[in-house]
Structure 1
Amino acid sequence: MTLTTKSAKDLVAEANREVDTLSAEEALARLGQPDTMLVDVREGEELAKAGRIAGAVHVPRGFLEFQADPESPTHKAELGDGRRLVLYCGSGNRSALAAKTLKDMGLRSVAHVAGGFSALEKAGASVERV
């Protein structure tokens, strides 16, 4: 029996076909609106090094499923309160995968930012050091 293998590139491309992708400018226009939550899915070391977009909630990619699941003891209420979740990572790949995962979990109002933190910073996002 031959196993079909997908590369990380294949998985990211598939995720990008299935989830909404916002430009950094589109994401920044939504920032601060009461119906939108910006979610940083980078690792803690990345936040410590570069900071995060002001107002974003941090949910490391490795904990996303658990913090999005209302039945989990580590659930973050911000992820299930009905707001549109706009995810970003360093460059846009992990956030695409994370957005697809949330969509697969039943959250429908999910998007991610093309180009990630770098694009948001270049577009003039306010960065807070943590």
Structure 2
Amino acid sequence: MIRPVSELVAAAEKEIDTLSPEALRQALEESRVGGTPLILVDIRDVRELEREGRIPGAIHAPRGMLEFWVDPASPYHRADFAREGRYVLFCAGGLRSALATKSLKDMGFGPVAHLGGGFAAWRESGGEVISPFMQGN
């Protein structure tokens, strides 16, 4: 029998740090005034970014490449994941980012957290979003 993904997400959420949109805004503000650097990582598919927009300053790492981009021993490693700071992952609704955050934690990468409710919760809470038609900015 296949274990439902909802169980995997629930188990992951017990082991990872989850930030609300309000807590993320506060952490971003603290980062801007000299606090711990915050690196936002958007793991949505590129088509989701094109359709929905993005959070300003977030780097994009497709979910299927994330672990490879994080691993310094991987031929696909990206320098974005060698920066000092706290990484906050997000997806559309918080499910993929919960699993991805757990995976990075299992790899020993961190500090890492995820945005509960994902991009949708960020947008609904009034968080700043760059519209799809402004992607070049």
- How many residues align? The count is 127
Shift of 1:25: 0.8
2:58 is matched with which residue? 56
**Runs of 5+ in structure 2 lacking a partner?**
none
- Taking the aligned partners of 2:5 and 2:82, their CA distance within structure 1 comes to 28
Identity across the alignment (%): 47
Which is richer in helix? 2
Aligned with 2:19 (options 18, 22, 29)? 22
Structure 2 SS opposite 1:90: coil
- Taking the aligned partners of 1:27 and 1:67, their CA distance within structure 2 comes to 23
**Runs of 5+ in structure 1 lacking a partner?**
none
Shift of 1:123: 2.0
- Taking the aligned partners of 1:61 and 1:116, their CA distance within structure 2 comes to 14
2:54 is aligned with 1:47: no
1:86 is matched with which residue? 88
2:7 is matched with which residue? 10
TM-score between the two structures when normalised by the length of structure 2: 0.86
Structure 1 SS opposite 2:25: helix
Shift of 1:48: 0.6
TM-score between the two structures when normalised by the length of structure 1: 0.90
**Is the CA contact 2:87–2:110 (under 8 Å) kept in the aligned structure 1?**
no
Shift of 1:124: 2.0
Runs of 4+ that moved beyond 4 A = none
Please, which moves more after superposition, 41-50 or 77-86? 77-86
- Taking the aligned partners of 1:54 and 1:125, their CA distance within structure 2 comes to 10
- Taking the aligned partners of 1:71 and 1:81, their CA distance within structure 2 comes to 16
Please, which moves more after superposition, 97-106 or 71-80? 71-80
Shift of 1:6: 1.9
Shift of 1:5: 4.0
Shift of 1:51: 1.0
CA deviation vs aligned residue, 1:78-117 (integer Å, no higher than 9, x gap): 2232310111100000000010011011113110011100
